[in-house]
Amino acid sequence: MSDHRLRALFNYSSPRSVAKLTTAGIASGVAATAILANRDKLSNIRISLNSTLIEAISGAAGEVAQIALVYPLDTVKVRCQAAGLNSRQVLAQLWRSTGGNWPALLSALYAGALPAVPLSVLVGAVHYVSFCTTRRALAKVTKADDEAGSSSSSSSQQPGATLQPLLEQQQQHQQQHAHQHVIVTHGVTGTHFMPMEDPAAAAADEAPDDTSLQDSSSSSARPAAVAAGAVALTAAAAAESEADADARPISHDVGEGSMSLNMACAVITAVITAVVEAPLEQFRHNSQAGNIRGNFVREMWRVLRTSGPRSLYFGFVPYCLESWPYDVSELLVVGAATDARGAPGLAGIKPAVFDMTVGALAGTVAVLVSMPFDVVKTYMQTHGTGMAAEGLRESVGAFWATGSRLVAKGGPGALFVGLAPRLAHQVPGAMVCWLAIESMQRHLKKCAEQQQQQQQQCPA
């Protein structure tokens, strides 16, 4: 598909159909009637809150909160990058195009926001669930490897530690059963002490009684008893750890890890999120830039029917070249903050303040790292430049050529066009997003732990 044909796709806007609206109204009425008729049964339904569901709801809440509060700033940023203008010029252009009408201006700033909400719910859920699930899995693998190494080292030291007390006990036992008799004689030269073996004791040793048999049998059985005791202690410790894992609160599900673990989690999450978010961002940016009139979800559906699934991923490589640096740097900051959350020096900070601080830091780092990539990617998406390139090499070449043209035309500063509105959008957006995620997660985990306590008290 050529570039001009791809751009022509975004100039199509189908009229609303009365039949579709009537069908949707009837379906909504039937659904509402069914819910009202069965409200008593529905009130008894309880949703089991597990970690994955909590993370999905929290991620979706964060994404929706970000769209609701800072979406106009993203629209200004997109128009800056698409037209090569600064924020003031873009706002002046919008003011003139809307004739100074405030409702029309707000409508232009929120272009594509309403249809973006349900798709952003999916993106936010996938993004946060992927991060937490990957973090748990890698933390579990790392912990299992550490435990295997420590158990092997302790098992190599255990025989010596076990034999030492046995040898000491054997020596004490032999000293207790050593029988000596002392003969005392008195003569001219004085008193003499002569140690001699006691015949009665020797006879007793040759013919051991029940007590000696019991001592010998207990001494021979002592190593087996020690080994059995060690096995029993190991089994008890394993059972105790399993019981602790079963009774562990749901708030301790996300593991802790090193910098390398956080990097691996961030990379995997960025790859998974890109597959879901790339089509949404491509059509949403064209709606914000004014290339799509009306609901861009209908446009996505029309392109999907006419050109196939591949048409939704035009420009996927340019998108990944921007989104991967952004997501990886953001999640690295969030992962490090999650590990440091329980530090003694941070105990006095309120959770909301901590979450907003982490969001601001993560958003700032992510914007600065990914800004040049974002400028080139947005320009390619809104102008159709190089979007029809196929293959990794061709797509990277088109990305490089577009960036080179921008630098040749406007200098190195052209790669940072829209930095101010992007910071104004992403930093508050990240603060709102992570505050909503963590607040929702704390609330849902508290509800889940209450459910667990109720189930333990009333197992039936």
pLDDT by position in tens, the chain (length 460): 444 444 444 443 444 445 655 676 677 777 777 766 666 665 555 566 788 888 999 999 999 988 888 888 889 888 888 888 888 899 999 999 888 888 888 888 888 888 888 889 999 999 999 999 998 888 888 877 667 766 666 555 555 544 455 556 556 555 554 554 444 444 444 444 445 555 555 455 554 454 443 444 444 444 444 445 544 544 554 454 444 444 444 444 555 567 888 888 899 999 999 999 998 888 888 888 888 887 888 888 998 999 888 888 887 888 898 899 999 999 999 988 888 887 777 878 899 999 999 999 999 999 999 999 999 988 888 887 776 666 788 888 889 999 999 999 989 999 998 888 889 888 999 999 999 999 998 898 888 888 778 777 775 5
Burial 300-331 (b: 16+ CB within 10 A, else e): beebeeeeeeebbebbbbbbbbbbbbbbbbbb
pTM of the predicted protein model: 0.65
Q: Where are the domains of the chain?
A: 3-7+48-145+270-457
Q: Quote the DSSP letter at residue 451.
A: H
Distance CA(120)–CA(127), nearest Å, equals 10
pLDDT tens profile 122-158: 999 999 999 999 988 888 888 776 677 666 665 555 5
What does pLDDT average to over the chain? 75
pLDDT value, residue 29: 72
Distance CA(269)–CA(273), nearest Å, equals 6
Cα radius of gyration (the chain):
37
Distance CA(107)–CA(98), nearest Å, equals 10
pLDDT tens profile 304-326: 999 888 888 887 888 898 899 99
pLDDT tens profile 150-193: 666 655 555 554 445 555 655 655 555 455 444 444 444 444 44
Q: Do the beta carbons of residue 323 and residue 273 sit within 8 Å?
A: yes
Residue 412 is which amino acid? P
pLDDT value, residue 387: 65
Q: 378 CB contacts (<8 Å, ≥6 apart)?
A: 78, 81, 82, 285, 418
Which CATH architecture fits 3-7+48-145+270-457? Alpha/alpha barrel (1.50)
Distance CA(363)–CA(419), nearest Å, equals 12
pLDDT tens profile 78-101: 888 888 888 889 999 999 988 888
pLDDT value, residue 211: 46
